[in-house]
């Protein structure tokens, strides 16, 4: 894997090869790939509301950055309404959220993450009604240095299977102590392509949470161990074995969020021993996590996973 670097550059999020598809969410790169490229062949597909859109085969992708002129909750609510408008007739598979000052206190003496969650959840309920939880895709929400809220999505013609980690309470079922509206996401989404006999698997941002409780607050090594256990469980739930299809031949992308840059060497050593291959594309970035006691979060996107029985 790449050696550590100074956090002098910001991660580029590229939707396709066109320069118009490069977005900056405000994530300092600590090591590894400085550009996240999940959909190399995507092409510009116009705009919808605040979103810039791209297409690749059966995929519709999009991204937007919204200033917080009317507040974070309002910005998240409107961005998600724009996403629903752009993806009519399609199915959301993955959403990435980059939230300014995610752990700071905003209006109503509420943490910004909770305000973001309320805006997002209300938009889902308005769109899909009381049964919206069954349609929630995989997602992540981390802090960023930018002043605007940035949201990136991937949607597909094929309905995904949304899956949960048996060691964790679904985030959308968290008790009221975690805010007036629970986080709106599934732990993983699997999108099968019967024509090619393969699947795309999105593993949501995964951290040291067991049930709904934070494990080992502020303890890096114990949190890394718990996070790896959670990744093994959700990997098994996705029929990838317990090693995220490590030897299955799929193309694997990882993004590792670290609250403290100084933690890079410990986390990288653990991942290189337990999970990573030399062929994996990995970005280590500095970002605040949705809960202040959490120090690390890991997500994965896998392409070309061989379907069982093909």
Residue 27 in any domain: the answer is yes
DSSP three-state, residue 214: strand
Any bridge partners for residue 192, and if so which? 199
Residue 174 in any domain: the answer is yes
Q: Assign residue 238 the CATH number of its domain.
A: 3.30.1330.40
**Smallest Cα–Cα separation from 233: which of 273, 206, 259, 272?**
206
Phi, psi of 186 (to 5 degrees): -100, 160
DSSP three-state, residue 167: coil
| Residue 205 contacts residue 168 (beta carbons within 8 Å) | no
Residue 162 in any domain: the answer is yes
Residue 5 in any domain: the answer is no
- Count other C-beta atoms under 10 Å from residue 69's C-beta: 8
Residue 3 in any domain: the answer is no
Strands 138-144 and 91-100: parallel
| Residue 279 contacts residue 272 (beta carbons within 8 Å) | no
DSSP string, 273-292: HHT--TT-EEEEEE---SST
pLDDT one digit per residue (tens) for the chain, 310 residues: 334 444 469 999 999 887 888 999 999 999 999 999 999 999 999 999 999 999 999 999 999 999 999 999 999 999 999 999 999 999 999 999 999 999 999 999 999 999 999 999 999 999 999 999 999 999 999 999 999 999 999 999 999 999 999 999 999 999 999 999 999 999 999 999 999 999 999 999 999 999 999 999 999 999 999 999 999 999 999 999 999 999 999 999 999 999 999 999 999 999 999 999 999 999 999 999 999 999 999 999 999 999 875 4
Residue 4 in any domain: the answer is no
Residue 1 in any domain: the answer is no
CA 173 → CA 114, 254, 263, 296, distances in Å? Answer: 14, 26, 31, 22
Residue 145 in any domain: the answer is yes
Number of domain units in the chain:
1
Alpha-carbon distance of 158 to 165, in angstroms, equals: 22
Half-sphere exposure (CA, 13 Å, Cβ side) for 259? 20
DSSP three-state, residue 202: strand
| Residue 155 contacts residue 91 (beta carbons within 8 Å) | yes
What domain range is 89 assigned to?
Answer: 10-306
């Amino acid at each position: 894997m790449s050696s550590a670097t100074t956090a002098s550059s910001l991660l580029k999020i590229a939707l396709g090869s066109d320069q118009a598809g490069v977005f900056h969410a405000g994530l300092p790169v600590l090591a590894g790939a400085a550009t996240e490229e999940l959909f190399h062949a995507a092409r510009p597909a116009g705009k919808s509301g605040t979103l810039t859109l791209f297409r690749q085969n059966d995929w519709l992708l999009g991204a937007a950055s919204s200033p917080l002129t009317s507040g974070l909750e309002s910005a998240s609510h409107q961005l998600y309404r724009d996403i629903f408008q752009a993806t009519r007739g399609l199915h959301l598979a993955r959403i990435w959220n980059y939230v300014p000052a995610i752990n700071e206190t905003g209006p109503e003496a509420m943490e910004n993450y909770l305000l973001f969650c309320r805006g997002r959840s209300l938009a889902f309920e308005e769109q899909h009604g009381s049964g919206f939880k069954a349609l929630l895709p995989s997602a992540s929400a981390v802090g960023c240095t930018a002043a605007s809220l940035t949201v990136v999505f991937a949607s597909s013609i094929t309905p995904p299977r949304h899956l949960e980690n048996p060691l964790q309470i679904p985030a959308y079922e968290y008790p009221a102590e975690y805010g007036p509206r629970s986080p709106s996401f599934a732990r993983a989404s699997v999108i099968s392509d019967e024509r090619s006999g393969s699947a795309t698997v999105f593993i949501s941002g995964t951290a040291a949470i067991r049930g709904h409780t934070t494990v080992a607050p502020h303890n890096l090594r114990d949190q890394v161990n718990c996070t790896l256990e959670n990744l093994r469980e959700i990997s098994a739930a996705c029929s990838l074995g317990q090693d995220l299809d490590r030897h299955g031949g799929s193309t694997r992308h990882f993004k590792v969020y670290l609250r403290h840059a100084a933690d890079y060497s410990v986390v990288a050593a653990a991942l290189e021993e337990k999970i990573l291959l030399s062929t994996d594309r990995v970005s280590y970035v500095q970002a605040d996590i949705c809960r202040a006691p959490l120090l690390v979060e890991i997500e994965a996107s896998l392409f070309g996973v061989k379907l069982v029985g093909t």
